[in-house]
Amino acid sequence: MTATLSTVITVIGVFAAGIVLVGTRSVPTALGVLLDMLVAAGLVRLVGEQTWADLAGVVAIVLLRTVLRGALLADYRRSHPGATVRSRRPGRR
């Protein structure tokens, strides 16, 4: 059951990222949406039977999300020197 729900969340994430990409034309924003949904799918998968392999998969997705987002923001800041990027974390400015 959790594997099916996890797959559904992943598919919804792909569609949501596509909609965000079309709507905003921002690859970093669309990728952020996709990676957030992949994290959610991984966490849902952990609700069932937890194995070390499942936990390692979620950790890998979170690390990938963090590295990709940082790389995309750094690239964006290099290519748009005067632009500002709003942080999605509460309390940061």
- The residue extents of the domains of the chain are 2-79
Residues in the chain: 93
The pLDDT tens digits for 45-79 are 777 777 788 778 778 878 887 888 788 778 877 88
Nearest to 5 by CA among 50, 35, 52, 37: 37
Say if residues 53 and 8 touch (Cβ distance below 8 Å).
Answer: no
pLDDT digits (tens, 9 = 90+) for 6-51: 889 999 999 999 999 999 888 878 888 888 888 888 788 777 777 7
User: What is each CA distance from 6 to 19, 53, 78, in whole angstroms?
Assistant: 20, 16, 36
Confirm whether pTM is higher than 0.85: no
